[in-house]
Chain A
Amino acid sequence: MSILVLKRAAIAALLVIAASVLTFALVAAAPGNVAALIAERMAGPNASAELIARIAADLGLNDPLPVRYLRWLGDAVRGDFGISLRSGKPLSVEFAERVPVTALLLFGGGLIAFALSLGLGIAGAISNGGPVDNVLRTISLVGASTPNFFVAAVLVITFAVTLNWLPSFGGSGPLSWILPWATSSVLPASILSRVVRVNLQDAMSRPYATTGFAKGLTRSGVILQEALPTIAVPFLTTFGAQFALMMVASMVVETVFALRGIGAFFIEVIRFRDFISMQAILLLFVVFFVVTNLVVDIVCMLIDPRIRKAAGA
């Protein structure tokens, strides 16, 4: 068991390293010269070639790529991501301020998506072709195919502008979190509720569901006690993927609701061509994706006895 966890963790670490190489290479290959950019910001459009050369030398930009990569990675591991060209602050300081905002957005939205999708998926399975099932199917279809900026706009117009119940942007107390959470959970909740519904339906056609009926359970009893435990792995796997994608969606959600998180920052630094920040944020994204999947894999291993067995535990 623990050997398997270590194995998975080692693979995850390799993934992070591979992705960090890729990230570094992409940013290095992107058009634009960091030294020139900095010089331009220091001395205006007519910065001298000398200044550019000095900055490049200072930053070690003349060293071979592998050396630069290792230096960058070594610093990053120690928590030094460099200084943001956009804000002039160390990125470690930016992250310390912004990661908690994004984390709160993701965990709130993720929790809502988790609970809502289970509840709606189960309700649909219990209704089984009835009106509840059909309404939920339609809602989830709409929810899964509506872009999040549009969802945000609809929610803001409805609850902030028209009804004036909730603030239209974040960062102003607990109530201000409701609309960002709702926006970021619509897509994952829609997709996940379908995953729950469809997998429950499949489980209900299995012989063990019939055994559940034979044991004397009612249909709802069979859904909750027999079918639900067996869908844990597909549900959690999809949840992990959707949760990771919420990080991507945070770029839009944070920008729309003026939340000072990582996602909004990423959009900002792209606009500013702040390569140093982009590199650091991409690395953060990669680590987040890999860790999320690692956690899901380990949880699935813990709850499904068959995976445990396949793992030779």
Chain B
Amino acid sequence: MSTASGPIYEVGDLVIDLYAGNVSVRAVDGVSFAIHPGETVAIVGESGSGKTVMTLGPLGLLPEGVTVDIRGRAQSGGQDLLTLGPRRLSELRGRSFGVVFQDPISALNPMKRVGPQLAAQARRLTGATGREARQAALDLLKRTGIPDPDDRYFRYPHEMSGGMLQRVMIALALAGKPKVLIADEPTTALDATVQAQILELIRQLQREDGIAVLLITHDIGVVSRVADRVIVLYAGRIAEEGPAFEVLTAPIHPYTIGLLDSVPDLRKSIGEPRQGIPGVPPDQSMLVPGCRFAERCPKVEPRCRTHRPPLDQVRGRAVVQRVACPPQLRALREMADA
């Protein structure tokens, strides 16, 4: 990865509290990460782990009706997104950050024909005029692998399949030539056969344009297929972070181990019981001093319940892998010393 050019987007000490009525939830609790041009970073975690809030929150893309309090830094192109006013932030969306959502059928406006919507986006973001904008829209449809773009141009979303619509969604996200593509569960709502095609498309477009892809998913299979780096999120905190290969093959954090263990492996015999992780994720409306995974952790020590585990780098590995679990890191060191 070309890390020499520096990160295109960097988040530091991000804390996001969500308020609905008089209930408050710390959805993101001190998260830091960076993504570089051309890199694909997967953010993995179960529902409610804060992966969507952490990625869409700084861009001001959380649903209306939820009061959001965001602290920390979210820097891109020399600007801190968290200090920008609504108008300046809206100028970054579409231009610097393209977003692809989970369910394209509900994420695309039912009243808008796909081609003209793309053309309008090209006009607004790239200053293209009439014919250029139309051509840009057709090119985007072609690039995203939509067959017969001239015909699809005037289609409404309800006239197209989910897979085709996700391609349109990707085309829409790319219309402003963004530097970072955020894909929030882009394949979850699609058929299994279509999922692979969409992932391949994202990968191919990334190679062509050198954009950074921030992929939010709960699907380990997706991660292993496309991600360069993985961030494992648990209850609003990073449990483990590192290159996809290392994290998937040699996980260190007990949560990552449990997560990978609960993925069905078709090569193993059917009927063999899955391991899974006992217990349920913690109630994030309560702030606990220690490790959030402590209640479910097989390696838990007394100190885990009182001290927040720092995200420390694993020593002795050729790559940068960080883990928020002192007991496991200590065990690794002892093994290396022995």
Contacts and interface: CB of A to CB of B under 8 A. Distances in A.
Contacts of B59: 214
A216 B95 contact: yes
Interface in A224-266: 226, 229-230, 232
Contacts of A212: 109
Contacts of A304: 111
A221 B124 CA distance: 12
B61 interface: yes
Nearest to B60: A213
Interface residues of B, number: 37
Interface in B78-103: 86-87, 90-95, 97-99, 101, 103
Nearest to B110: A306
B158 interface: yes
A271 to B, nearest CB: 49
Contacts of B173: 214
B65 A215 contact: no
A284 B95 CA distance: 57
B94 A208 contact: no
A209 to B, nearest CB: 8
A152 B91 CA distance: 49
A229 B169 CA distance: 19
A304 to B, nearest CB: 7
Nearest to B120: A225
Interface residues of A, number: 26
A230 B158 contact: no
Nearest to B102: A207
Majority DSSP secondary structure for residues of A touching B: helix
B112 interface: yes
B107 A211 contact: yes
Interface-central residue, B110, B172, B173, by most chain A CB under 10 Å: B110
B58 interface: no
A309 B103 CA distance: 21
Contact of A207 (B65, B101, B113, B156): B101
B64 A205 contact: yes
Majority DSSP secondary structure for residues of B touching A: mixed
B90 A211 contact: no
B91 A305 contact: no
A214 B181 CA distance: 11
Given A207-B101, A210-B101, A215 B110 contact: no
B109 A230 contact: yes
Contacts of A215: 93-94, 121, 124, 172, 176
B108 interface: yes
B273 interface: no
A218 interface: yes
Contacts of A211: 99, 101, 107-109, 169, 172
A273 interface: no
A219 B93 CA distance: 12
A219 B61 CA distance: 11
A305 B109 contact: no
B287 interface: no
A309 B107 CA distance: 19
B94 A230 contact: no
Contacts of B61: 210, 213-214
Interface string B106-126: 111111110000000100110
B283 interface: no
Given A215-B121, A305-B156, A210 B107 contact: yes
Given A208-B109, A216-B95, A305 B176 contact: no
A214 B94 contact: yes
A229 B95 contact: no
The 10 A-B pairs with the shortest beta carbon distances in the complex, nearest first, are A216-B94, A214-B99, A229-B111, A305-B156, A208-B109, A207-B107, A207-B106, A216-B93, A218-B90, A211-B107
Given A210-B63, A212-B109, A213-B93, 17 more contacts: A206-B106, A207-B103, A207-B106, A207-B107, A209-B64, A210-B61, A210-B107, A211-B172, A214-B59, A214-B61, A215-B176, A216-B91, A216-B92, A218-B87, A232-B111, A305-B158, A309-B159
22 contacts: A205-B64, A207-B106, A209-B64, A210-B63, A210-B101, A211-B101, A211-B169, A213-B61, A214-B97, A214-B101, A215-B93, A215-B121, A215-B124, A216-B91, A216-B94, A217-B90, A226-B109, A229-B112, A230-B109, A232-B111, A305-B113, A305-B156
Interface of B: 59-61, 63-65, 86-87, 90-95, 97-99, 101, 103, 106-113, 121, 124-125, 156, 158-159, 169, 172-173, 176
